[in-house]
Structure 1
Amino acid sequence: MITSPSFYRTIHKQETGKAVVLGHLVKRLMKKHAAKIIVCTAVFALLFTSFLMIGTYASGNHPAEAAVNEQVVTVHSGDTLWGIAQQFTDGKQDIRYIIYLIQDRNDLQSSEIMPGQRLIIPSI
């Protein structure tokens, strides 16, 4: 039989109230795993705010209105970005770069355009 005073105090504390033991266990766990808890909380906060930002910026796929030095073109049947870019090049720049500028200005994810679509041609 164990008769050390520390053993008696441990048993005595457990008998006086489970809340004391539970509080003691929580404190021990917090001290032991503090770094893990802090890292997990930081990762959770980072992911949560990232998802909020993605939801905020992914909702609008509409470009800003055309500026004074930009032109607006309505796409007709059979038009391509290549053909539209050729109309607005001076022959000194690469047409692929002009296409990139048009796609970037109009928030286009691919080179597909539809008849009736309005494209903003940036100043080149």
Structure 2
Amino acid sequence: MTTISMYSTANPGKGSITHTATRSRQERRAERLLIRLAAATLFFVLLFTGLTLMTSHANSELPAQPTAEEQVIIVGSGDTLWEIASDIRKEGEDIRQIVYALQKRNNLSGGSLKAGQSLIVPAD
């Protein structure tokens, strides 16, 4: 017959194997919660940073300086984009494309202009 002994020589002076203390269920749960909170915080910080960088580059209100080929005009009282576009339009050009080019070049979100405002007429 075989005898199984629980005696260990690893821990002299103790007659049986000692089990290492395991962490309680609450400690493991708290550790997982802290890891999740740290991951969520990191995610939101990265998301906020990315959105901030995107909006800071997308909302530049001032257009770039005009090049030598571009013309700068001053808006008069009562002028509209359509009138200015019709004045600078060449034969056969679509006025809608000219209005769009003026809006894009001058970072205009709508068609409203102010008297004394400078507009850059893009070169062809």
Corresponding residue for 2:79? 79
Segments of 5+ residues of structure 2 without an aligned counterpart are 1-17
How many residues are aligned here?
Answer: 106
Aligned-pair CA distance for 1:94: 1.4
Instruction: Please tell me the residue identity of whatever aligns with 1:84.
Output: I
- Residues 28 and 123 of structure 1, relative CA distance in 2, 3 Å threshold: same
Residue ranges of structure 1 left out of the alignment (5+ in a row):
11-19
Percent identity between the aligned chains? 35
1:1-124 aligned within 5 A: 25=27, 27-31=28-32, 36-37=36-37, 40-54=40-54, 56-57=56-57, 60-124=60-124
Query: Under a length normalisation based on structure 2, what TM-score does the superposition of the two structures give?
Result: 0.66
1:55-108 per-residue CA deviation (whole Å, 9 max, x = no partner) reads: 633664111111011100100012110011112211322111111110111011
Q: TM-score, normalised by structure 1?
A: 0.66
Distance 1:32 1:46, change over 3 A: closer
Q: In structure 1, how many angstroms separate the alpha carbons of the residues matched to 2:46 and 2:62?
A: 28
RMSD between aligned alpha carbons? Answer: 3.4
Q: Find runs of 4+ consecutive structure 1 residues off by over 6 angstroms.
A: none
Going by fraction, where is helix more abundant, 1 or 2? Answer: 1
> Whose Rg is larger?
2
